Structure 1
Amino acid sequence: MSTDSLRWLAGKWTGEGRGFYPTIDSFEYEEEIEFQRIPNKPVLKYDCKTWHPVDKTPMHLESGFLKMKPGTNQVAFSIAENIAITEMSEGTLTDNSLSVTTQSIGRSGFNKEPSVLKVQRDYRLTPDGDLEYTISMQTATQPLQEHLRAKLKKF
């Protein structure tokens, strides 16, 4: 596979999502994700922002890069989050799905407990052309389980 395999992700996506986890109250959010092609580079630039669906206040922000391993379907996804956490994930890409799991997580020394220990991100392009994803999370007190789910449309 080549970086052209990332083509289906490239662009801006917007939609709604829902968050839940045993240690928090469930919530809804609106979101914009952009996977931007960078000319002559084997990567996509990634930016994500979420906001409250009623009062429109910012909620969560992420930025990073998605890179293909040449000649394979393997990818690396590096992400920095506004909560002072970084994720370095690896996984696989197909014609309509991307699945990555953290290999390492960096965090500031003052993050509140429980700390995030593992994140799994699964993105897929639906037959209707929407982008759906689930993000699962493991913390110091909870096993790996679904935390976020969203459906986005390309614009």
Structure 2
Amino acid sequence: MERIAGGSDSPARSPPPVHPLVAPLEYLLGKWRGEGEGGYPTINSFSYGEELVFSHSGKPVISYSQKTWKLASGEPMHAESGYWRPRPDGSIDVVIAQSTGLVEVQKGSYDAENKIVTLKSELVGNASKVKDITRVFTVTNGELSYVVQMATQLTSLQPHLKALLKKL
């Protein structure tokens, strides 16, 4: 019996087949790493390293996890995880829990041909200041880019984060 590297007693398994509802977003599956920039009218600008992982279990859902770190020191900055549930009509439901305690429930759409996912918050929970969040993910020439915009009680929807990642 073949074993997974690292001494595990679990047998090595090939990934399950991609569920038909996940198939249009199969291009996202895997590990992505790169760098990003952040800022907002109420904070200083900053740069960060980032890793995103999109995975599946054969069910009609994509697991999502993200972590960032300071480029200079490698010190952890932010983490979030959740689930993306694509629908047959090109819509998508997303839930994300952030390490800060903030939770997002987002709805959006995907364009499989142009490799674009657009999300807008329906609910931002456990946030004293954040009112609205939008996210747009695009894959072009094998690179994943995204832009996050945010609105608070004091500001309208404004750019907050942007990054460019390469698949590992």
1:68 shift after superposition: 1.2
CA contact (8 A) 1:119 1:138 kept: yes
Letter in 1 for 2:162: R
Q: Which residue of 1 aligns with 2:94?
A: 77
1:37 shift after superposition: 1.4
Q: Which residue of 1 aligns with 2:48?
A: 29
- Taking the TM superposition and a 5 Å limit, the aligned residue runs for 1:1-150 are 2-39=21-58, 41-69=59-87, 71-95=88-112, 96-107=115-126, 115-126=129-140, 128-150=141-163
1:140 shift after superposition: 0.6
1:2 shift after superposition: 2.8
Please give the secondary structure, in 1, of the residue aligned with 2:160: strand
Tell me the alpha carbon deviations over residues 109-135 of structure 1, each in whole angstroms, 9 at most, x when there is no partner: xx6x5x111000000001x21000000
Number of equivalent positions: 147
Structure 2 runs not aligned, ≥5 long: 1-19
Letter in 2 for 1:146: P
CA distance in structure 2 between the aligned counterparts of 1:19 and 1:105, rounded to whole angstroms? 20
- The structure where strand makes up a greater share of residues is 1
CA contact (8 A) 1:2 1:72 kept: no
Letter in 2 for 1:118: D
- RMSD across aligned C-alpha pairs, in angstroms? 1.1
Q: Which has the larger radius of gyration?
A: 2
Please give the secondary structure, in 2, of the residue aligned with 1:12: strand
1:6 shift after superposition: 1.3
Structure 1 runs not aligned, ≥5 long: none
Q: Which residue of 2 aligns with 1:152?
A: 165
Letter in 1 for 2:110: L
Q: Which residue of 1 aligns with 2:9?
A: none
Q: TM-score, normalised by structure 1?
A: 0.92
Runs of 4+ in 1 over 4 A off after TM superposition: none
Q: TM-score, normalised by structure 2?
A: 0.85
